[in-house]
Structure 1
Amino acid sequence: MTAEASVDTGRIVLLTASHRVAPGLLSWPAWQALRSADRVCCADEAHPQLPYLREAGVTVEPGVPGAEELVAVCAGGRTVVVVTSGAGESPLTDGLARLAGSGRVAMPGLELLPGSYDLPGARLLDLVEVMDRIRRECPWSSRQTHRGLAKYGIEEAYELVEAIEDGDRTELREELGDVLLQVVFHARIAEEDAGEPFSVDDVAATIVEKLIHRHPHVFGDEKAETPEEVKAHWLRTKAIEKQRESVTDGVPLGQPGLALAAKLASRVRTAGLDVAVPAGEDVGYELLALAVAAEAVGTDPEAALRAAARAYRDAVRAAEGLGGRAAGG
């Protein structure tokens, strides 16, 4: 082995940390690298990790040396940790890549060390942050109200259903985002209410509490082996929570007619009530009877009618000499 080959060229560690995780909450390998490094540096003097590193006794030098200087610093087996701040390190990494490609310099080892990772759902924090800024700075968004946005909630829900029925995975992902936006937007508006403000965290806390309470077979001691038993648990806990007088209480009457009829029929059947379907000569009663019959055999009459309507649309387009999907869905 030659003397040149035996030289320890050292190590450069690029330490990353998620901005969605509280500063100072770093992994044990990250803390080990920081404490054992010969030098720690950071280009961003306002980096949120710096106060916590200094509190832990880690000396952080302001600024990051250029590529050639950094390679020279590492010579002799030294380790330099660079606390990264996103795109700010691209000149450094580009410079290191050029040096390595030149073949002129014995390069130190280069390691990318994640100091913290995003947990599932972490990108929701980005959505909340973006929505907060839009609410403050956008002339249109800053003037919106719950009532004014209501129609968009309905539209987005229908577009989501259409994406599901079309089986379009790309469209499904986008429409789920649009529905989620409505939730975050309304929650952001609710924060400004003078009388009863609440935030998106309150919204999330409410649904978490509800889900836990209505799933005692998951979070409690009760047992449920079948979907029917799960539904029975759900209905029992819901009835206790709401303390409703009628099984029809809580059914939104403003929903589409077939869906409304099916929902009422489902409530009646689940409650074990013997209620005759009203009869009449109006076409509405015929539709009601069809919806009740469909629900009884597990068919969603609203979805069934949409499927039939799409077939009708395709027939119309065929008669017009057209093909494929109609513009605008």
Structure 2
Amino acid sequence: MTDEVPAAPGRIVLLTASHRVAPGLLSWPAWQTLRTADRVLCSDRDHPQLPYLREAGVTVEHPASVGAQDLVDACAGGRTVVVIPSGAGDGGGGAGDGTLTDGLARLAGSGRVQMPDLELLPGSYDLPGARLLDLVHVMDRIRRECPWSSTRTHKELAKYGIEEAYELVEAIEDGDADELREELGDVLLQVVFHARIAQDGLDEGSEPFSIDDVAATIVEKLIHRHPHVFGDETAETPEEVKAHWLRTKAVEKQRDSITDGVPLTQPGLALASKLAGRVRTAGLNVPLPTGDGIGYDLLALAAQAEKTGTDPETALRAAARTYRDAIRAAEERGRARN
């Protein structure tokens, strides 16, 4: 009497793919597994990967649903079955079908079933920055379907851009990493929102543009202004980098005055510091105007701060925070006495 050799348990492969990568761009191990599998199952007939699988000669079956027990039975005799979870590639995150994996876990936990080998095979991975595609997709849908967002204009959103920028600066000065991450997202939202509005091309006399145009513009600018990184020039110090930046910027803008491009709507101390910095960098001898009033005193202080490498706005905010803390301490003492 000979011992029976137990049948090989087979293999279940859950193939996942990032919906942020173009369908069909699968890894070589994924294609190898698909081509050699005994069966490939996908209950979603509209799955974005299917046209590329058909083109590669991979036969895909479309059961109404993929059950755990049926899948285990299909692996009998050592067969390999690949399951393409619904949602893996269309925005569902590609993490797999929760119902199926839960069912397989219950069977394995029962101890009554010889389970096939279970493998999670990533067919593609997110690239750095891939989640930005999600933001663009979500913003596009909100712009189409939200009654408030669908009617906003650049001018109506301008105040939010200012508010979010100030909140970002506050998060930086507070040193709160979680708050910084959130505020960076809020600023990024303003960029994507304005780009989506511009895509509609509703402003008279202006050409529509998209977030891709915005990104392309800044990429081109960054490459052009960093010849020491992307070109043949060299820069060993931050001062040399800044000189490259100012030189290429001057050629790009071809401005008539060093004051061109300085927004007059920014806070007064920042404006004064910026103008003083432009004068100093250009090597001009322009005496500060004098006159009666606190404004001229503040102008002189801002220019002196810029000369010493101090941002007057940051310095004043720091002093104001100290003053605020002193006010709160005085309030606490008053409440304690009462």
- TM-score range (shorter-chain normalised) is over 0.9
- Counterpart for residue 19 of structure 2: 19
Q: Distance in 2 between matches of 1:88 and 1:298?
A: 54
Aligned to 2:90: none
What is the 5 A alignment of 1:289-300? 289-300=300-311
* Same amino acid, percent of matched pairs: 80
Out of 256, 260, 263, the position equivalent to 1:252 is: 263
- TM-score by length of structure 2 reads 0.92
Deviations 1:253-295, CA, capped at 9 Å, x for gaps: 1100000111111111111112211122211111011111111
Cα distance between partner residues in 2 of 1:84 and 1:214: 46
Match of 2:320 in 1: 309
**In the alignment, what sits opposite 1:29?**
29
- Residues 122-178 of structure 1 deviation map (CA, whole Å, 9 limit, x = unaligned): 111111111111111111111100000000000000000000000011110000000
1:197-217 Cα distance to aligned partner (Å, 9 max, x none): 000000000000000000000
Q: What are the Cα deviations for residues 85-111 of structure 1, in whole angstroms up to 9, with x where unaligned?
A: 247721211111011111111111111
**Within 2, Cα distance between the matches of 1:276 and 1:10?**
85
Given that 1:43 and 1:88 are in contact with CA atoms closer than 8 Å, whether structure 2 keeps it comes out as: no
Cα deviation digits, residues 30-53 of structure 1 (max 9, x gap): 000000100000021111001110
Q: Does 1:101 pair with 2:137?
A: no
Q: 2:136 aligns with which of 128, 142, 147?
A: 128
2:165 is aligned, of 157, 164, 167, to: 157
What is the aligned partner in structure 1 of residue 91 from structure 2? Answer: none
Q: For residues 134 and 220 of structure 2, what CA distance do their matches in structure 1 show? A: 24
The residue that corresponds to 1:79 in the other structure is 80
Determine the structure 1 residue equivalent to 2:127: 119
Which one-letter code corresponds to 1:176 in the other structure? L
Q: Extract unaligned runs of 5+ from structure 1.
A: 324-329
Q: Which amino acid aligns with 1:241?
A: E
Q: Which of 249, 257, 262 is residue 273 of structure 2 equivalent to?
A: 262
Q: Return the alpha-carbon distance in structure 2 between the equivalents of residues 250 and 48 of structure 1.
A: 47
Cα distance in 1 between the residues matched to 2:279 and 2:79 = 76
Corresponding residue for 1:189? 197
Question: 2: CA distance between counterparts of 1:53 and 1:99?
Answer: 30
Are residues 42 and 322 of structure 1, via their aligned partners in 2, closer, same or farther at CA, if it must alter by over 3 Å?
farther
Q: Verify the 8 A CA contact 1:294 1:300 in the aligned structure 2.
A: yes
**Any gaps of 5 or more consecutive residues in structure 2?**
88-94
Moved more, 72-81 or 233-242: 72-81
Q: In the comparison of the two structures, how many residue pairs are matched? A: 322
For 2:330 and 2:173, the matched residues in 1 are separated by 24
Rounded Cα–Cα distance in structure 2 between residues aligned with 1:85 and 1:312: 58
CA distance in 2, matches of 1:71, 1:182: 50
**How far apart are the structure 2 equivalents of 1:148 and 1:106?**
64
Q: Counterpart of 2:69?
A: 68
Distance 2:240 2:182 in 1: 34
* Alignment root-mean-square deviation, CA: 1.6
Q: Deviations over 1:231-264 (max 9, x none)?
A: 0000000000000111111111110000011111
**Which amino acid counterpart does residue 30 of structure 1 have in structure 2?**
A
Read off the aligned partner of 1:90 and give its amino acid letter: G
SS of the residue 2:83 aligns to: strand
Residues 16 and 85, structure 1, Cα contact 8 Å, conserved in 2: no
Which residue of structure 1 lines up, in the alignment, with residue 186 of structure 2? 178
How far apart, CA to CA, are the structure 1 residues paired with 2:232 and 2:282?
Answer: 25
Q: What secondary structure does 1:61 align onto?
A: coil
Larger deviation, residues 58-67 vs 20-29 = 58-67
